[in-house]
Amino acid sequence: MTLLDDIASPQAEPDSPRAIDPGRAPSDRVFQNVARVTGLSVLVLTGSIGLFLGYQSIPTLHRYGLSFFTQSQWQPELDKIGISAVLLGTLEVAAVALVVAFPLALLTALFISEYAPARLKSLLVSMVDLMAAVPSIVYGLWALKLLEPNIIYLSRWLHRYLGWVPFFRVDTDPQAAAWAQSRYTASAFIAGVAVAMMVMPLACAVMRGVFSAAPIGEREAAYALGATRWGMIRSVVLPFGRGGIIGGTMLALGRALGETVAVLLIVSPAFDIKFRILEVGTQTVSALIAGGFGEATSSQLSALLTAGFVLFLITLAVNTVAAIFVNRSRSGAATEI
Amino acid sequence: MSTIVIRPDHDTDATSPPPLDPRTSVKADLPRDVPRVLRRRTRDDVLSLVCSATGALALVWLVFEQMLAWSGNLGFIVCWYVTFLALYAGVTALSHPRPVIIDRLASAAVHGGAAVAGCALVSTVLYTFIEGRSALRHLNFYTQNMAGVGPQAPLTQGGVFHAIVGSFIEVGIAVCIALPLGIGTAVFMTEVGGRLARLVRTVVEAMTALPDILAGLFIYTTLIIGLGFQRSGFAAAMALTVMMLPIIARSAEVSLRIVPGGLREAGMALGASQWQTVRRIVLPTAKAGLATALILGVARAVGETAPVLITSGASTFTNFNPFQNPMNSLPLFVLTAVRSGETLFIARGFGAASVLLTLVLALFVTTRFLARDRMNRR
């Protein structure tokens, strides 16, 4: 019928090419729409958290203004609320964690990808993954009960011999015969070491992945030119894996900034602006939230949410930078057949 | 001409002649053109390593323990390691050029770092089980709850049954919500695509940066304060869902993306619709990867304390109803038990941590098993 119409009507375009794309089958349209709705709902759900946090922080920021970032005390009953000390504590714990975790992660990753015997490799890889899967509370327990009683000696040693460095100062006499052990416990340093245990496997897994991807031809070329194994690593593996090293470290940093339970277990809360990481007492944003949400009024809850929002923005920035580095370092990952 | 000199690759740039292995240089009837064994250890390698280590141990023991009378195992080991590095460098310097010294020192450092990491993992796992064994020994630890158990009650009373049940219910609900949504989103991002998919991917990646405690605080503020829900297992499950969803969606997307595009095109070319291709080809191919994504998400959720701490409330009784009354879970039980400071409760806390660790280990072994299965099939 339509054919006849086309022939009959002279104004029809004579030779229009047939549309090759047959269009989607109805089942596909359903499928695509269902998938789209799922994606959209996840977008709304996850996006709403960010928007919600941002929205909730408006009244707090409106009320306290810039002093929210400069005030160190967190005393809602006196209407003194600020996150400078808490943010500093968060950064200190994360910095200690990175200083401990970075060399360990790098060395372990190098060991697994370059030094370990081939038949042990997959076992070691799963060990690292397992380490990443161990719940943070278990690391918290380990740090609280096993690490803390031992590491305070290291703290005292650092204080005694490196006390002239401002970070390692503690308000007590390191030479005293009966030394004040309690001054060294519950510090940012110990919490940082516990957090380091948690983030180390994460960084290690990323680094190992990139190291193993270092092109075999270049490795062989380095050996052929007479390089020792370390010479090969330094001239091939490390430059190739630089993106992964930076990216993995940043991922670990992002995780370290948000870690809650280990810090909550270990540190005793203190709201001073201080750089003495070996000394008792500090506080981080997430531990502050975990400790303070229970008896919070709605305005205090808003303040806690604001602190959380600031933390989220920091971790988001760190993770984004990490993603950029990790993605840039990925090469030849095509798996087409 | 008949002598085949086999040189270990370490010595390729050595100025001094490499130590010849007498067995290989004497034998004239060796087959020609045998590939050189790379990374072979020479006697020099082994001996300088072992002797440096022994020498350093003896030296440090003498100075550290006998002459200076210092104490502390950590200090001893650190001193030993440092002395060992120095000795090793010295011994190597006797007969090798600088690159070899650096190579050996780097090797020692890498092995040392890996050993520290390994010790940390092993000590964490072992310590938890050793401290928890006094509680784990009693059968009632697995079958009873803590209702009416006083702070001084012996370990033969009370247990963590309620926490185990709570953990299973909360994680179960969270998985039931997060898994379909996560995989659906992953399918949307990889198979449908478009501008919206890119937006979803950006937001999902951003939300993996969300600190766990904020997932809990979000649910606490909206569900419990805002909508007047009780602190309950359901609220905790929602917090876990919020935390797990981006993780599952992202790792599922990764495993869908590595499904070769050729398989999809083959399906399409045979006349399958897109839905059929996804259901019959893409998802089955990525099955192991998806299972890994799920199990890793579950392992993370089972051990997550911060969101649960805020949203569920710690009960002492067994509660099967996620919508009413507080519900305990394993990580939360560990946290409250340890923070209570009572010796027996700390033992119970370690016991519960061992149970938790066992669960995670079991999940983990399952993951590895699935992953190996996938590798074998390729």
Instruction: Check which CATH number belongs to the domain holding B350 and give it.
Output: 1.10.3720.10
Our CA-based measurement puts residue A274 at a distance from the nearest CA of chain B, in whole angstroms, of: 24
Quote the pLDDT of residue B110: 92
pLDDT bracket for residue B71 (50, 70, 90): low
**Is the Cβ of B261 closer than 8 Å to some Cβ of chain A?**
yes
Our CA-based measurement puts residue A13 at a distance from the nearest CA of chain B, in whole angstroms, of: 31
Query: Is residue A105 one of the residues assigned to a domain?
Result: yes
CB A112 within 8 A of CB A214: no
Task: Please give the helix or strand (H or E) that residue A65 lies within, else none.
Answer: none
Long-range contacts of A16-23 (CB under 8 A, 24+ apart): none
Query: Is residue A251 one of the residues assigned to a domain?
Result: yes
- The answer to whether the CB atoms of A137 and B350 lie below 8 A apart is no
- The answer to whether the CB atoms of A293 and B220 lie below 8 A apart is yes
**CB burial string B143-180: b at 16+ within 10 A, e below:** ebbbeebeeeeebeebbbbbbbbbbebbbebbbebbbe
C-alpha span between B314 and B332 (Å, rounded)? 7
Report, as an integer, the average pLDDT of B85-113.
89
Query: Is residue B311 one of the residues assigned to a domain?
Result: yes
Domain of residue B178 covers: 161-377
Which chain A residues contact residue B297 at CB under 8 A? Answer: none
**Looking at chain B from residue 144 to 183, which residues have their Cβ under 8 Å from any Cβ of chain A?**
180-182
CB A191 within 8 A of CB A263: yes
Coil, strand or helix: which one is B302? helix
**CB burial string A149-165: b at 16+ within 10 A, e below:** eebbbbbbbbbeeeeee
C-alpha span between A216 and A235 (Å, rounded)? 13
Q: What is the domain count for chain B?
A: 1
Model-level pTM? 0.81
B110-136 confidence digits (pLDDT tens): 999 999 988 888 888 899 898 888 888
Partner residue facing B185 (CB), from A39, A106, A110 = A39
- The answer to whether the CB atoms of A290 and B184 lie below 8 A apart is no
Query: Is residue B309 one of the residues assigned to a domain?
Result: yes
Coil, strand or helix: which one is B68? coil
| Inter-chain contacts counted by CB atoms under 8 A, chains A and B | 291
Query: Is residue A58 one of the residues assigned to a domain?
Result: no
CB B344 within 8 A of CB B253: no
Per-residue pLDDT of chain A (337 residues; tens, 9 = 90+): 455 555 555 565 678 777 676 667 778 888 888 888 888 888 888 888 888 888 888 888 888 877 778 777 777 777 777 788 888 888 888 999 999 999 999 999 999 988 888 888 888 888 888 888 888 888 888 888 888 887 888 888 788 787 777 777 777 776 766 677 777 777 888 889 999 988 898 888 888 888 888 888 888 889 899 888 899 999 888 888 888 888 888 888 888 888 888 888 888 777 777 777 777 778 888 888 888 777 777 777 888 888 888 888 888 888 888 878 777 765 444 333 4
Query: Is residue A51 one of the residues assigned to a domain?
Result: no
Which residue is closest to B271 within chain A, CA to CA? Answer: A25
CATH number of the CATH domain containing A109: 1.10.3720.10
Show the 3-state SS of B287-298. HHHHHHHHHHHH
Which chain A residues contact residue B306 at CB under 8 A? Answer: 260-261, 286, 290
- The answer to whether the CB atoms of A129 and B364 lie below 8 A apart is yes
Query: Is residue A50 one of the residues assigned to a domain?
Result: no
B294-346 confidence digits (pLDDT tens): 877 887 888 888 888 888 877 777 777 777 778 888 888 888 888 887 788 88
Query: Is residue B195 one of the residues assigned to a domain?
Result: yes
Enumerate the H helices of B153-210 as residue ranges: 161-187, 195-207
Query: Is residue B24 one of the residues assigned to a domain?
Result: no
pLDDT(B11) > 50: no
Which chain B residues contact residue A133 at CB under 8 A? Answer: 296, 299-300, 303, 360, 363-364
Query: Is residue A199 one of the residues assigned to a domain?
Result: yes
Our CA-based measurement puts residue B36 at a distance from the nearest CA of chain A, in whole angstroms, of: 13
C-alpha span between A194 and A199 (Å, rounded)? 9
- The answer to whether the CB atoms of A107 and B109 lie below 8 A apart is yes
- More confident: B143 or B16: B143
Query: Is residue B132 one of the residues assigned to a domain?
Result: no
Query: Is residue B36 one of the residues assigned to a domain?
Result: no
Which chain A residues contact residue B309 at CB under 8 A? Answer: 261, 290
Which chain B residues contact residue A130 at CB under 8 A? Answer: 121, 361, 364
Domain of residue A73 covers: 64-329
Q: What is the domain count for chain A?
A: 1
Query: Is residue A1 one of the residues assigned to a domain?
Result: no
Which residue is closest to B217 within chain A, CA to CA? Answer: A305
Interface predicted TM-score of the whole assembly (ipTM), two decimals: 0.80
Q: Which two tokens stand for residue B104?
A: 């050996």
Query: Is residue A175 one of the residues assigned to a domain?
Result: yes
Query: Is residue B38 one of the residues assigned to a domain?
Result: no
Disruptive mutation site among A42, A113, A197, A310 for chain B (greatest number of B CBs within 10 Å) = A42
- The answer to whether the CB atoms of A146 and B127 lie below 8 A apart is yes
Which residue is closest to A39 within chain B, CA to CA? Answer: B185
Quote the pLDDT of residue A118: 83
